[in-house]
Structure 1
């Protein structure tokens, strides 16, 4: 078994959570993913841990995924505004990660 980096494990975890929530979609408007095997293949591909790609292709895929994730990440102010709308207790003392966890 190949050792995975923390970034790869985090990406795989995120993709599998999307699958569990029913939010994982196939490429370019292909619809929702229904198969667990397909979700695993997508997760490994996005994480750059696929055995079917070369190491350079895997590095490039992980780099692309991480840059895409960074663009979609909400700021603390946006998370705080959403927590305020939902009336979450103790929101003013929460860090960005704690706010994200409370909203999830």
Structure 2
């Protein structure tokens, strides 16, 4: 259950015209705080983020579930349920036994997954995945605009740069 303060901040972000992912960031931050203060743990930084996003969806943040191919089917199903619950399209049932079981399992998980170091590494991995996509887009554009000789020159320059960086 998110704190009232978190919901207030998310609504404030919405009024300011910020994106749904920014609004959801408040819930993710709350989860990380909970883990750091030992209320529960998480197996990985991704899990901490996922719990926060789920709470955001249930609280009514307009954050649709990931599209097909972007996440596992079970993840998408859970996100869809949380999203519909938050949008008032689905009535949720309280399940105290399940809730207790989940809390018990999360308490056994490590707190180190929300450390500054773990979150930093997670952010670096995410950034590298994003930039890898843009690199291939740049390569496709080069094919269209440069021509064979231009590509060859660029490739040789890249090889020189790599060699220089290796020798440092």
Which TM-score band (shorter chain)? 0.3 to 0.5
**Larger relative contact order (CA 8 Å, sep ≥ 6):** 2
TM-score (norm 2): 0.24
Q: Larger Cα Rg: Structure 1 or Structure 2?
A: 2
